[in-house]
Amino acid sequence: MSKRISEATHQKDFVFYVRRAEKVVPRITGNAQMIRMTAPCNGLPVRHPGHKVEAKKMGMMPGVPDLIISHPRKGYHGLFIEMKAENGSVSALQAAYIDDLNSEGFRAVVCFGFAEAMEVFNDFFGITETEFRQLLDEPHIQQVLDRHGICSSTLLGDLPEQSA
């Protein structure tokens, strides 16, 4: 039986992948810290009853997607990702936010695991086979793919040879 991977690990690995892509992919390089914001709570437990009240006063709202990539691309204003573990579920509030964002010109998706998030990101930025090969040369990327049972050679066949 394979070990379940937590939502937090999927998200951390995806952020790691994006940070590496920021260094390698020309149309991303120069947009330092592409993931500009994450929802601050991200499912973390509230340590004290006052924290929830304080968080609301600070503008934190349930249902807001976990990751915001504020880079317009492919006719969208940016990319929002609600990250879930592979067996996760989406709340009605999260689904409503996703629908609203999509209707406002953003690309907003729910990704069930690192692999889906990476696929969405690669598509959003048109990551080519050559660029993905460069990413594979980055430290620890292969370890991340291995942790999620992803075969890099299979992915290479799904990527365009040149960017559109």
Name residue 81's beta-bridge partners.
67, 109
Lowest pLDDT segment from 40-44, 49-53, 68-72, 92-96: 40-44
Q: Domain range for residue 110?
A: 1-40+82-164
Establish if 48 belongs to a structural domain.
no
- 11 pLDDT band (50/70/90 cuts)? very high
Q: Output the pLDDT for position 94.
A: 95
Three-state SS sequence of the chain: CCCCCCHHHHHHHHHHHHHHHHHHCCCCCCCCCCEEEECCCCCCCCCCHHHHHHHHHCCCCCCCCCEEECCCECCECCEEEEEECCCCCCCHHHHHHHHHHHHCCCEEEEEECHHHHHHHHHHHHCCCHHHHHHHHHCCCHHHHHHHCCCCHHHHHHHCCCCCC
Establish if 150 belongs to a structural domain.
yes
Establish if 76 belongs to a structural domain.
no
Establish if 75 belongs to a structural domain.
no
Q: How far is CA 89 from CA 7, 66, 85, in A?
A: 11, 14, 8
- 164 pLDDT band (50/70/90 cuts)? low
More confident residue, 154 or 37: 154
Q: Output the pLDDT for position 158.
A: 65
pLDDT tens digits for range 86-142: 999 999 999 999 999 999 999 999 999 999 999 999 999 999 888 988 888 888 998
Give the chain's domain count.
1
What is the Cα–Cα distance from 69 to 125, expressed in whole angstroms?
11
Residues 76-85: what's their mean pLDDT?
A: 94
Q: How far is CA 30 from CA 5, 22, 23, 40, 74, in A?
A: 32, 7, 8, 25, 18
Q: What is the pTM of this model?
A: 0.84
Q: Output the pLDDT for position 35.
A: 66
Q: Output the pLDDT for position 136.
A: 87
More confident residue, 34 or 127: 127
Establish if 45 belongs to a structural domain.
no
